[in-house]
Structure 1
Amino acid sequence: MTDAPRPYQSYVYAYPHKTAYRPLPHPAPPLAELWADEPKDALSLYAHIPFCEVRCGFCNLFTRIGAPDELTTRYLDALDRQASAVRDALGDRVPVRFATAAFGGGTPTYLSAGELERLCDIAEKRMGVDLRAVPLSVETSPATATADRLAVLAERGATRLSIGVQSFVEAEARAAVRPQRRADVEAALSRIREAGVPVLNIDLIYGIDGQTEESWVRSLDAALAWRPEELYLYPLYVRPLTGLGRLSPTADREWDERRLRLYRCGRDHLRARGYEQVSMRMFRRADAPPQGADDYACQTDGMIGLGCGARSYTSSLHYSFDYAVDMREIRSIIDTYTETEAAGFARAQVGRWVDADEARRRHLLQSLLQARGMSVREYETRFGTSPFADFPAELGRFEALGWLDREAAAGLLRLSPEGLAHSDALGPALFSPAVRAAMAAYEPK
């Protein structure tokens, strides 16, 4: 048996990671050229709102605390300018259609009800997204899930609200540097249910200092009392420049084993109560309404990102703005964004080119990390090669580790339960040497 790597290396939610992005050579490529020959019939829109009322100890997202001096107004002004520039770049030579939309952050509901109306207007009137006709997911928090904000989102077509609770045990929330009262969390959940948005997702975290299987199950049961359509179970990570990273900068094998025990406990608890596992993190209630566009595929279709923390994807270039975790750096980047004129949004400034090998890695990685697995035929049709020929060493190692499902149907490459449990080791194992080198050379800021 091959020695298993440490299970918690990196949460792979996109590839290549932003720390592999670099400033693009001058002159920066115009968006109109980048998108000229791209399919535009099933795009995804992501709008990033980089504001929160507090900064959680585990958070390394691109966000700042508060928004003084009408900063939210200036940010939405810039978002409007960017949306106009991006929509112009997409052109009208072929129909432009969006299949899905999301508002993330930060905390989008940090915006007031009126500002959320304006955000929806930007998506609809500038970008042409019919928010009432496509799945729209919005992230929120207990403190900002107010009735007036939720009413706006429900009326404008939100189909999914995702709330970060992390733990219903107040002592654990404090240990994660996320002070909150359970009564406030429950009140927010009640308001979300009253708003009538079809899908409620609750985020929980395992691996918090002092957390046990017993307390973890108490949190799970508190969440299940609301019958959420989805639950995300996240392992706690301690990352550089975060609140917890300054307190406890290293992880160890004992913590790895504790997180694995808690993961398996949570997985089994949810599956026994009618939830289907979609990925290592995501669980969906078996009778929940479908969520997501049937014709949008994250492996192949394009992403339009608006806001200074958002990424955009074409088939050959992934691009964004500068990335930081430190609060002073984030403030500086947000200030620069709000001062950018429309012409400045018409070119890609920071990003990474994606060649044929990286496209293959991305397709394999993003497909394999889903519980349903990857169709070998779809891979072969897209690339004209076999994943077993393209990645013999990686897939051979996964097989030796017991991470591949030997009982999967013919033509389906799928992870075993143990493989899913080790998704945060398997994903990084598929990174290319060039991406690894770029990430290693990145200096956190």
Structure 2
Amino acid sequence: MTALAPAPIAATAPPGIRPYTAYVYAYPHKTAYRPLPDPPLLRDLWRGERKDALSLYLHIPFCEVRCGFCNLFTRIGAPDGLTGRYLDALERQATAVRDALGDDGPVTFANAAFGGGTPTFLTASELERLCDIAEHRMGADLRAVPLSVETSPATATADRLAVLAERGATRVSIGVQSFVAEEARAAVRPQRRADVEAALGRIRDARVPVLNIDLIYGIDGQTPATWRTSLDAALAWRPEELYLYPLYVRPLTGLARRTALTDRAWDEQRLDLYRRGRDHLLAHGYEQVSMRMFRLAGTAPRGPDDHACQTDGMIGLGCGARSYTSALHYSFDYAVDMGEIRGIIDDYTATADFTRAVHGRPTNGDEARRRHLLQSLLQAQGMPVADYRERFGAGPHEDFPAELAAFAARGWLDQDGAGPLLRLSPEGLAHSDALGPELFSPAVRAAMAAYEAK
């Protein structure tokens, strides 16, 4: 086995900076949400909102196993009848949401996604029903818009994939994390490489246009050589997309009870592996879209990029989904502990009235600016300054002078942040998980700090 060549830049973070502070995939963060004291009617929330290019997300909170690093809202398995009861509730919710959107203007969807959990935990017939809910209750034409679906090696069966392909899936994302058996065990992810390879073959046989493979770096015992093994195993399938995720050890997860890898050496290991993985993919014909996302050159996007999950105009269905209007982000309660999750799912399946938003956080003008800057700056293509100014009436350097000056001083901004395009340098992208949290507002920071994990 040949190890990767040394990374061209020394794997060292700026003094005092933890490069892996938090994965910023949405803002405000879900731990800043709270029960809404006067739950508003959905029809009032959506009145006046643009509804001609909505995003639709359906959440399935079930998995066959729970990986050691996972803090997603999901439970292991489902007692007899639970998936059916969950789909019944999902249909009731979809009916209420579509009614709330009204018919005073066009209501159309620009993209759709099934996530979780593991949507393919559902049987083939249940996946048919899930698609029917999206189409018949919400009015989404799944065959006419990009449709992304998450899966796992154990549940990517031929019958399920056939349903998804026939109903219009344009992208299937599979969490492999590592092709090395010892690393999979270290991440508390029971799987065999032969089963992973078989699942990848079935996805390719289903002829879904885009295959995405997720890999994780920073696993206990991982080396540059074993990281190269996983990268090359993934590249053998020539996936249209690859995500490289740093391992996080979060409260109440399996790994949190087994290890305490939180020191500086682990940060440096992850930075080194990130750079090696990035350079390896770039050398094999991939383009960097964000810190995590890489796309095969010449591949047309078949859905929103990774930042678009927080775009205004998001309709989330399911007890782990979030919805976004211009004034409020809302969802149901959130938990990581298995007992708490089971209780929330049971409450959801028993809910008859889905006409109000019950849990969320308002987004005022300052938060909207922060969201726009975050979701734009964390993309490799950067943000046109003129677009920001046109939307908010001032430039980003006027709204966030201290933050952008600090980023420039650390070498995180291309051309020190000057010019018409505000874009991260390669090192800025590498430190996305440190940069993002520095743009959180004091109010959101306080709410996150006060959140009690459950």
TM bracket, shorter-chain basis: over 0.9
1:2 Cα deviation after fit: 7.0
Number of aligned residue pairs:
441
| More moved, 6-15 vs 282-291 | 282-291
Alignment of 1:361-380 (within 5 A): 361-380=370-389
Seen in structure 2, the aligned counterparts of structure 1 residues 429 and 40 have a Cα distance that, compared at 3 Å, is: same
Deviation per residue, 1:175-220 (Å, 9 max, x gap): 0000110000000000000000000000000000000001000100
Distance of 2:183 and 2:451 partners within structure 1 = 32
Identity value in percent: 79
Distance of 1:252 and 1:63 partners within structure 2 = 29
Distance of 1:140 and 1:300 partners within structure 2 = 23
Contact 1:43/1:99 (<8 A) preserved:
yes
1:291 Cα deviation after fit: 1.9
Deviation per residue, 1:247-269 (Å, 9 max, x gap): 12450000000000000000000
Partner of 1:80: 91
Partner of 1:171: 182
1:55 Cα deviation after fit: 0.3
Partner of 2:34: 22
Distance of 1:31 and 1:405 partners within structure 2 = 42
1:69 Cα deviation after fit: 2.1
| More moved, 400-409 vs 202-211 | 400-409
Question: RMSD of the alignment, in Å?
Answer: 1.5
Partner of 1:48: 59
Distance of 1:23 and 1:149 partners within structure 2 = 37
Partner of 2:111: 100
Which residue, 394, 397, 401 being the options, matches 1:385? Answer: 394
Distance of 2:16 and 2:204 partners within structure 1 = 43
Distance of 1:250 and 1:432 partners within structure 2 = 28
* SS of residue paired to 1:99: strand
Deviation per residue, 1:85-115 (Å, 9 max, x gap): 0000000001001001000000000000000
Which residue, 421, 433, 454 being the options, matches 1:412? Answer: 421
1:353 Cα deviation after fit: 0.3
Partner of 1:150: 161
What is the identity, as a one-letter code, of the residue corresponding to 2:56? L
Contact 1:24/1:350 (<8 A) preserved:
yes
1:439 Cα deviation after fit: 0.2
Contact 2:217/2:273 (<8 A) preserved:
yes
Deviation per residue, 1:127-172 (Å, 9 max, x gap): 0000001000000000000000000000000000000000000110
Distance of 1:128 and 1:44 partners within structure 2 = 12
Which residue, 360, 365, 386 being the options, matches 1:356? Answer: 365
Distance of 2:299 and 2:231 partners within structure 1 = 18
1:409 Cα deviation after fit: 8.4
User: Structure 1, unaligned stretches of length 5 or more?
Assistant: none
Q: Confirm whether residue 324 of structure 1 aligns to residue 322 of structure 2.
A: no
Distance of 2:362 and 2:304 partners within structure 1 = 27
1:298 Cα deviation after fit: 5.7
Distance of 2:15 and 2:257 partners within structure 1 = 31
Alignment of 1:342-353 (within 5 A): 344-353=353-362
What is the identity, as a one-letter code, of the residue corresponding to 1:320? S
1:64 Cα deviation after fit: 0.2
1:4 Cα deviation after fit: 5.1
Deviation per residue, 1:21-72 (Å, 9 max, x gap): 000013x100000000101111100000000000000000000000102100
Distance of 1:187 and 1:349 partners within structure 2 = 43
Deviation per residue, 1:326-382 (Å, 9 max, x gap): 0000000000000000xx211000000000000000000010000000111111111
Q: Confirm whether residue 91 of structure 1 aligns to residue 102 of structure 2.
A: yes
Scaled by the length of structure 1, the TM-score of the pair is: 0.97
Scaled by the length of structure 2, the TM-score of the pair is: 0.95
Contact 2:57/2:112 (<8 A) preserved:
yes
Seen in structure 2, the aligned counterparts of structure 1 residues 336 and 232 have a Cα distance that, compared at 3 Å, is: same
